Amino acid sequence: MMAKGRYGLILAGVLLPVLLPAASKTQESRSPGLFTIARLKYGGGGDWYWGPSALPNLLTFIRQNANVKTATDEARVAIADDNFFSHPFLFMTGHGNVRFTDEEVRRLRTFLTRGGFLLANDSYGLDKAFRREMKKVFPEEELVELPFHHPIYHCFYDFPNGLPKVHQHDANPPKGYGIFYKNRLVVFYAYEADIGDGWEDPAVYNDPPEKHLAALKMGANVVLYALTGKTEKVKDLGQSRKVEGTSK
């Protein structure tokens, strides 16, 4: 595992001020300069709101263990929102259908190709719809399984066997998939692992402590990788404090 003190200093002192959005007239204006995760609201009938304690717990874990200044609450944003491009890290979860409009497909692609990152968690039943809609966003790219040696599994905590298995669904092994754009990982998709449910308050599912901790560690890895590994040149990140995009 990487030394926490040094890593936290790098995040707080160099990269985070570059990637974080400027304060807006939403939740972030009450906590300027703090990193938060934006939960993606989507149409189609799926329960995008699933697991209300998950992201606050993950943000707390990152703040306490990686020396990153995080907000205490998640943000919530739809692709059509005016402030959509002010949230560089998106989280998407649920069990049911997902449906993006043509305009949402265009805006999400712009977001991801201009510096944004999406972490998607299949809580169970999201897989078919998620793959279909992401193919609209990146028709020229495929969701590819990431090898166990990929840095996302080792950038802070070490996961030599890839994603931890938190909840049993179809008795399939957990797999981490990614979409790359110009050699940058822009989407990470956790399938058959359900790390998002593992972030929730332990009493929700009565998960054993080791599973709860493994889920939080893996979530921290994804966030920290996205904040530090999205480009080879730090100076390239300094052009904007938010994802470059178009207005609504």
In this predicted model, what pLDDT tens digit does every residue of 142-187 receive, in sequence order? 999 999 999 999 999 999 999 999 877 677 899 999 999 999 999 9
The closest of 119, 174, 172, 175 to 146, measured between CA atoms, is: 175
Q: Is the dihedral of CA 85, 89, 93, 98 positive or negative?
A: positive
The C-alpha atoms of residue 163 and residue 198 are separated, in whole angstroms, by: 12
> What is the value of pTM for the model shown?
0.83
- Give the sheet arrangement for strand 89-94, strand by strand: 75-78, 38-41, 89-94, 117-122, 184-191, 175-181, 144-145
Extents of the domains making up the chain = 4-239
Structure tokens at 92: 């998407």
pLDDT in tens, 101-155: 999 999 999 999 999 999 999 988 899 999 999 999 999 999 999 999 999 999 9
Helix (H, G, I), strand (E, B) or coil at 208: coil
Domain topology for 4-239? Rossmann fold (3.40.50)
Give 61-73 as a DSSP string: HHHHHH---B-SS
Cα gap 234→164, rounded to integer Å? 30
